[in-house]
Amino acid sequence: MTDIFSLSGKRAMVTGANTGIGQAIAVSLAAAGAEVICAGRSSSDETVSMIEKAGGRAYRLKLDLADPMAGRLIFEANAPVDILVNNAGIIRRADAIDFTEEDWDAVIDVNLKAVFFLCQAFAKSVLARGGEGKIVNIASLLSFQGGIRVPSYTASKSGVAGLTKLLANEWAARGINVNAIAPGYIATNNTEALRNDGARNKAILERIPAGRWGEAEDIGGTAVFLCSHAAKYIHGAVLNVDGGWLAR
């Protein structure tokens, strides 16, 4: 029986692949057999090295999504890509009453506008060659909850969830699966301060039914599933990978 979770023969691009969740997704896709383009504004040398040491194939691609249109021609300039994972994202923190237009625009540009135009460019490439494609967007628990002191981040991630559904509605019948993953509290560099704060760490763990912080690999495995043949009839889903946080 063919392995329905295999990504052998597929070519994937992961944005923000240099560390954390993006790195774990890139490594997981490669372990499943995909050739992976590790894209981002920071060096992905470590990720590429991890993949190559494990016997996989990976490439570096400089891509700064502070310019949300930076990727509009990227799929025309490279060999066909079958999988797009929109992981790159930024966050700005301030009380809503003090939040600046600069911080609003910076986050929306990277987290939402760039996501849409990368999806658009990817879909144009897939449809032009009559192929099939998989898109996985990285949403957030704040696609469902309001959060505090992160207005542009909450708006952007709520937008990612809605955009995922809209694109699925338009492209599902045309051979492109569009889904999203909403990570919970994951042990990465971005959450180190929270984990080092005894009171906050305790409060978070008490809320998570699984009783632990998630690992980046938990998101990587979910991405492999959504990019595989096993998920061929999943369209427009926003899959929570949160240890049960939203079920609490």
CB 96 within 8 A of CB 149: yes
Distance CA 64, CA 81 (A): 19
CA 209 distance to own-chain centroid? 24
- Inter-CA distances, 106 with 81, 109, 153, Å: 27, 5, 10
Q: In one letter, which amino acid is 141? A: L
Q: Which residues are catalytic?
A: 153
35 φ/ψ angles, rounded to the nearest 5 degrees: -90, 130
For the chain, helix (H) and strand (E) counts, in that order, are 9, 7
- Inter-CA distances, 200 with 63, 204, 248, Å: 34, 6, 17
What strand order describes the sheet that includes 176-183?
58-62, 35-40, 11-15, 83-86, 133-138, 176-183, 238-241
